[in-house]
Structure 1
Amino acid sequence: MCGIVAGVAQRSSIVPALLEGLKRLEYRGYDSCGVAVLQQHGAPRRIRTLARVQALETEVRAADLNGSTGIAHTRWATHGMPAIANAHPIFSGDQIAVVHNGIIENHEALREALIAQGYEFASQTDTEIIAHLIHSHYCGDLLAAVHNAIRVLKGAYAIAVICKDEPQRVIGARQGSPLVVGLGADGAFLASDTFALARCASRFIYLEDGDIADLLRGDVRIVERDGGPVVRDVRTVAEQPANADLGAYRHYMQKEIFEQPLAVARTVPHLHSLDATLFGTADPVAFAGIDSVLMLGCGTSYFSALTARAWFESIAGIAAHAELSSEYRYRDYVPQRGTLVVPISQSGETADTLAALRYAQSLGEERTLTICNVAASAMVRQSRWAFVTQAGPEIGVASTKAFTTQLVALFLLALTIGRQRGRLNAAQTAALLRQLVGLPDALRGALAREPQIMAWAQELHRKDHALFIGRGLHYPIALEGALKMKEISYIHAEGYPAGELKHGPLALVTDAMPVIVTAPNDILLEKLKSNMQEVRARGGQLYVIADANTHLASAPGVRLIWMPDYYGVLSPLLHVVAFQLLAYHVACLRGTDVDKPRNLAKSVTVE
């Protein structure tokens, strides 16, 4: 969830690269940031702030902070509230400086042991334990000190460490949290992801769990957990466009909502054949024998799995299960032959989902297929197969285009398995593919409803609570709509299956509780109308996103926005766009930080 940038420059100051990397990591979310550098002689110098990276940059320039070796960090608070004392880099005396992503699970016992050795703690962080441990082991070789320190750590970590006695050296180590080495013309670097180093490196080494990287000026070597040398592949990664120009948009989230037609068009490949080769295998019939799908995800990715569950059942004719990664990984799950495990993640580094994937593999589930927006992510590398969506970098913390492109990938997978199993004939397959190819235009039609949605936002932004309801394929869309509302507007919002209202949630319905409805023109429409009547009979106020020809009518207490014609099994993608826009405009009226909502991070790399 936090962001690391570190490095050793060969000819110039490392500071510009550190600050540029932090700016590129802002999309992950953070509540403090800082930088520390080493010069040829003397203790490390650091600057930390609870403000944004831009403010940090101003302070760094005012202090004339320069040096060829340094570490930098954006922190999302876990151990210890956002405070300068808890902001990274964390020091041990004037000798060791550390930045750290992850959570050390045995921090209490280690803290007590270090206090007994005479160490004093200036912060509430588990990171300070790492700094003091390294200091306690330091005898002139920073690599050896880090190696000995991490042997006693339990939990997840990615760290970068510098020492005043070795001013041209950075040590990095990882276990459970991502860390990459970047190789560039002006030095060697460490970062949480390649995007942070796109301006200063084009060749990357993806560290594996247990790896320790030793960065010297002009040289990098890697050792494994046992201390032996290891060679990791060096990969060339083309710079991803940052899409940093907001253009006519106020926020990245708004821009990314409107990028969805293009993102979907890029994700839908030019299909010459519909077979398993779409998913990273050379074998067209690699999915033969698959008779169930287990999808793993967190947050929005979990809701994409819930949506796709119905596609796998109705289109592919196989059993489908959607599991929250954080729950699945601790269950005594009973594996079944013929199961395809599908982890879903925007970043491909989501800690719970990555751990859930590894848990499934430990149970003998060998057929794994990651759906992800980052080709070089840990999840893609861990899986046998992968489908990389083409959403492009998503800067806003609240996911939008990553969600819709995940749904496209899952729909293609359902079609592929359905075709392979003989559930779809050529005509049915062609009809569904035409619908998929036409989806970008249909999304543009949904986006055209923005003016009416803005009018709703004028009413809803004064509310403190909201219910979102839907049925069938659209129940997960109600969940996603509620999630978006709470994420960025801070309105308490909950999503429910409409048929469950009478089993409890109706107790909440008053004229002060808006009920927001996704109403497609499908076979459950009449049932949904009855649920809406239950709300109206109790004085509830309905806000209905309805397909054309649903024969609903505006009335006192019933507000309608008409969507394009019903888009069949892909209609959830149109309705979710309306909910994204609604949450966005409500948040704008409430004056929240839309792109960086409080307490949240983009890439959740801790449990």
Structure 2
Amino acid sequence: MCGIVGYIGSKDAAELLLNGLERLEYRGYDSAGVAVLNGGLWVHKQKGSVSKLKDALFDSNHSLQGATLGIGHTRWATHGDPSDRNAHPHLSSDGSIALIHNGIIENYSSIKKELVSKGYQFSSDTDSEVLVHLIDSIWVDNPNMGLEAAVRSALYHVEGAYGLCIISEREPDKIVVARKGSPLVIGIGDGEYFIASDAAPIVEHTKKVIYLSDGEMAVVSKDGYIIKTIENIAREKHVSELDFELAEIEKGGFEHFMLKEIFEQPTVLQDVMRGRVRIEEGQVHLGGIEDYLDRLKLSSRVIICACGTSWHAGLIGEYLIEEFARIPVEVDYASEFRYRNPVITKDDVVIVISQSGETADTLAALRLAREKGALVMGICNVVGSTIARETLCGIYTHAGPEVGVASTKAFTAQVTVLYLLALTLSKGRTMSRDEIKLYLKDLGKVPQKVASILEHNDLILDIANSYKDARNFLYLGRGYNFPVALEGALKLKEISYIHAEGYPAAEMKHGPIALIDEDMPVIFIATRDNSYAKVLSNIEEVRSRKGKVIAIANEGDEEITRLADHVIYIPAASGPVTPLLSVIPLQLLAYHIATLRGCNVDRPRNLAKSVTVE
């Protein structure tokens, strides 16, 4: 997602900023900009790549020579479309303060109204610009307080997440930074300091870094740095020594990318909803499909094409769209779609799902559907990918870069997008706004519930220790949890190399029950829904054949403890959002079994992150 770079020292700031932004390109972005203090405050920002920004800077008439202090940013649009005007840095009205921001100012609307009433005018659609005007307003009202105090005062009024860098020609010898929910690291050089959203732009310049914690601010000058809390309490921070490869540093303290990405899911789910969901109004806004919404709602059939984990998300999408919008849905393996001569009409909608947007089989399905006249829609994570370019409309998942080969946060992001899509299709067709509001409230609680599940990580590690030497697993679920069973089995296969299969629980009696013995662990997703009693009966059948039972159950379910050898509890939720919860323990279980077996979980054998060949 968005990237931050800052520099203060004696070297060429512009060159350092631009190189740093290039090191952050993996995060995904749609615009970039820099601000330097060079006699005055000079800013250039534009839609497009860092290389285009670099060309524009060095082709311009503005001299950057001599600037030794500046900040730079890459933006992935949330509030406001990708454009020059919405790119960062943002300026105060008089052009004396520049700000870059990662995160979201949740109460920006109310702050903006107050500022407008005081005469402030806005030149962008972003929430970030509100903050720079707020800082300016406070400083104007209290001219003796200084930049640091103005920033601190402004943050008292802010709700949301932020990683901030602010500079001002009024105090041209410092950078003020602050963090809440969005990472920032300070690199310590010889008479120079670096600021970034992760270590990627810093490591080539210094190995000494300080990681800011939530609720902390820093004032950085050529003479050093001072770190305090937002409440103005001084903090002593440990200086860490970077002795890792760049890819390892980006793990953010986690042992593996996969574990990091599992733990990122509460934030990712919030990011997927950010700017799209208004819970109290019962509204979902998906700008990427807005122009085609009528045709989507009038479709006679939806066909979802995907591969692997994305196919499992598609299966959940089938349940969601049929339940919410009452539109018939089929889910196809993209790798098989074009080889069975499918019947496709101009009244069909074909949804292709891919994390990378470059999956070869999925692209082939896309092109076939387009040739046959269907409306083709994409769901992917990578801005500017082939799927994004070749579909008529679509939705980005905004999950951020997923480095681990085995998808985790991509899956939950895709399911969340499909949930929002299903609600969008239901509006005015099958559901009232009040009904949609109830479903959005359920979804809005999911990030916190996922965070609570992640707190059971140590318990899941203990269970993994008991089964790391198993040679086979069965995963069983019903309804919305059947695709989750498939996804849980796939995760285990991908990274631990243990054979595992997922089935609808009722299908066990139609063949797989022959495999059950004392050496067969069976994972049941046994949440309290309308299939709960039947799943308990299936558990009894496994127990009677000496199988080992691991149950994923709702908190407070004591009945399950007499049937299962191990229970992992998740919070209760309505059926449609349950997959976003029940999959989390399965991801962690696969991860821990694989690491206990000594497997390389981030780069499992024979697999690639983006499958660009058939």
1:276–1:283 contact (8 Å) kept in structure 2: no
Q: Which residue number corresponds to residue 401 of structure 1?
A: 409
Partner of 2:339, secondary structure, is coil
2:286–2:395 contact (8 Å) kept in structure 1: no
Q: Which residue number corresponds to residue 570 of structure 1?
A: 577
Task: Confirm or deny that 1:595 pairs with 2:602.
Answer: yes
The 5 Å alignment of 1:192-207 reads none
**Aligned counterparts of 1:240 and 1:385: Cα–Cα separation in 2:** 31
**Aligned counterparts of 1:553 and 1:583: Cα–Cα separation in 2:** 22
1:276–1:285 contact (8 Å) kept in structure 2: no
Partner of 1:600, secondary structure, is coil
- The residue type equivalent to 2:570 in the other structure is M
**Aligned counterparts of 2:418 and 2:451: Cα–Cα separation in 1:** 21
Partner of 2:541, secondary structure, is helix
Query: Structure 1 pair 434/332, CA: closer, same or farther in 2 (3 Å)?
Result: same
Q: Which residue number corresponds to residue 506 of structure 2?
A: 499
2:553–2:560 contact (8 Å) kept in structure 1: no
The 5 Å alignment of 1:207-226 reads none
Q: Once the two structures are superposed, what CA deviation does each residue of 1:554-605 show, in whole Å capped at 9, x if it has no partner? A: 2476221221123431011101011000000111100100100011000000
Q: Which residue number corresponds to residue 553 of structure 1?
A: 560
Q: Which residue number corresponds to residue 431 of structure 1?
A: 438
Kindly state the Cα deviation for residue 362 of structure 1 after the two structures are TM-superposed. Answer: 1.2
**Aligned counterparts of 2:349 and 2:197: Cα–Cα separation in 1:** 31
**Aligned counterparts of 1:580 and 1:278: Cα–Cα separation in 2:** 31
Q: Which residue number corresponds to residue 253 of structure 1?
A: 258
Task: Confirm or deny that 1:265 pairs with 2:265.
Answer: no
Kindly state the Cα deviation for residue 552 of structure 1 after the two structures are TM-superposed. Answer: 2.6
The 5 Å alignment of 1:232-247 reads 244-247=249-252
**Aligned counterparts of 1:283 and 1:325: Cα–Cα separation in 2:** 23
2:474–2:522 contact (8 Å) kept in structure 1: yes
The 5 Å alignment of 1:193-592 reads 244-270=249-275, 271=277, 274=283, 277-282=286-291, 285-365=294-374, 367-421=375-429, 423-555=430-562, 558-592=565-599
Q: What percent identity do the matched residue pairs reach?
A: 41
> Which sits farther off after the overlay, 556-565 or 439-448?
556-565
Q: Once the two structures are superposed, what CA deviation does each residue of 1:162-219 show, in whole Å capped at 9, x if it has no partner? A: xxxxxxxxxxxxxxxxxx9976869xxxxxxxxxxxxxxx9xxxxxxxxxxxxxxxxx
1:511–1:539 contact (8 Å) kept in structure 2: yes
Partner of 2:560, secondary structure, is coil
Query: Structure 1 pair 24/346, CA: closer, same or farther in 2 (3 Å)?
Result: same
> Which sits farther off after the overlay, 388-397 or 265-274?
265-274
Query: Structure 1 pair 333/572, CA: closer, same or farther in 2 (3 Å)?
Result: same
- The residue type equivalent to 1:321 in the other structure is E
Kindly state the Cα deviation for residue 337 of structure 1 after the two structures are TM-superposed. Answer: 4.6
Q: Once the two structures are superposed, what CA deviation does each residue of 1:419-475 show, in whole Å capped at 9, x if it has no partner? A: 131x11121111111111221111112212212111110111111111111111101
Kindly state the Cα deviation for residue 286 of structure 1 after the two structures are TM-superposed. Answer: 4.7
- The residue type equivalent to 1:539 in the other structure is K
- The residue type equivalent to 1:384 in the other structure is L
2:22–2:50 contact (8 Å) kept in structure 1: no
- The residue type equivalent to 2:356 in the other structure is S
Query: Structure 1 pair 579/340, CA: closer, same or farther in 2 (3 Å)?
Result: same
**Aligned counterparts of 1:356 and 1:256: Cα–Cα separation in 2:** 29
Partner of 2:298, secondary structure, is coil
Q: Which residue number corresponds to residue 119 of structure 1?
A: none
Kindly state the Cα deviation for residue 21 of structure 1 after the two structures are TM-superposed. Answer: 10
**Aligned counterparts of 1:292 and 1:507: Cα–Cα separation in 2:** 38
Q: Once the two structures are superposed, what CA deviation does each residue of 1:309-338 show, in whole Å capped at 9, x if it has no partner? A: 111111111101111000012111111453
**Aligned counterparts of 1:520 and 1:553: Cα–Cα separation in 2:** 10
Partner of 2:290, secondary structure, is coil
**Aligned counterparts of 1:474 and 1:250: Cα–Cα separation in 2:** 29
**Aligned counterparts of 2:509 and 2:22: Cα–Cα separation in 1:** 51
1:546–1:560 contact (8 Å) kept in structure 2: yes
**Aligned counterparts of 2:576 and 2:338: Cα–Cα separation in 1:** 31
Partner of 1:599, secondary structure, is coil
2:489–2:502 contact (8 Å) kept in structure 1: yes
**Aligned counterparts of 1:313 and 1:395: Cα–Cα separation in 2:** 33
Kindly state the Cα deviation for residue 255 of structure 1 after the two structures are TM-superposed. Answer: 0.4
TM-score of the pair, normalised by structure 2? 0.59
Q: Once the two structures are superposed, what CA deviation does each residue of 1:241-293 show, in whole Å capped at 9, x if it has no partner? A: 77953233110000000000101101103335746753343466453412321
**Aligned counterparts of 2:350 and 2:467: Cα–Cα separation in 1:** 40
Partner of 2:329, secondary structure, is strand
Q: Which residue number corresponds to residue 41 of structure 1?
A: none
**Aligned counterparts of 1:306 and 1:405: Cα–Cα separation in 2:** 14
Q: Which residue number corresponds to residue 77 of structure 1?
A: none
Partner of 1:420, secondary structure, is coil
Query: Structure 1 pair 556/388, CA: closer, same or farther in 2 (3 Å)?
Result: closer
Q: Once the two structures are superposed, what CA deviation does each residue of 1:522-574 show, in whole Å capped at 9, x if it has no partner? A: 10111111111111111111011111244433247622122112343101110
**Aligned counterparts of 1:500 and 1:381: Cα–Cα separation in 2:** 41
Partner of 1:343, secondary structure, is strand
Q: Once the two structures are superposed, what CA deviation does each residue of 1:470-529 show, in whole Å capped at 9, x if it has no partner? A: 111101100000000011111111111111111110111111010011111110111111
**Aligned counterparts of 2:571 and 2:564: Cα–Cα separation in 1:** 23
Query: Structure 1 pair 275/21, CA: closer, same or farther in 2 (3 Å)?
Result: closer
Kindly state the Cα deviation for residue 307 of structure 1 after the two structures are TM-superposed. Answer: 1.1
Query: What are structure 1's unaligned runs of at least 5 residues?
Result: 1-19, 26-179, 187-201, 203-238
Query: Structure 1 pair 334/282, CA: closer, same or farther in 2 (3 Å)?
Result: closer
**Aligned counterparts of 1:364 and 1:595: Cα–Cα separation in 2:** 40
2:345–2:373 contact (8 Å) kept in structure 1: no
1:276–1:287 contact (8 Å) kept in structure 2: no
Partner of 2:378, secondary structure, is strand
Query: Structure 1 pair 329/283, CA: closer, same or farther in 2 (3 Å)?
Result: closer
**Aligned counterparts of 2:288 and 2:557: Cα–Cα separation in 1:** 38
- The residue type equivalent to 1:334 in the other structure is V
Query: Structure 1 pair 383/323, CA: closer, same or farther in 2 (3 Å)?
Result: same
The list of structure 1 runs, each at least 4 consecutive aligned residues, that deviate by more than 4 angstroms after superposition, is 20-25, 180-186, 239-244
**Aligned counterparts of 2:424 and 2:563: Cα–Cα separation in 1:** 47
> Which sits farther off after the overlay, 268-277 or 387-396?
268-277
1:468–1:495 contact (8 Å) kept in structure 2: yes
The 5 Å alignment of 1:94-243 reads none
**Aligned counterparts of 1:387 and 1:240: Cα–Cα separation in 2:** 26
Query: Structure 1 pair 181/277, CA: closer, same or farther in 2 (3 Å)?
Result: closer
2:543–2:563 contact (8 Å) kept in structure 1: no
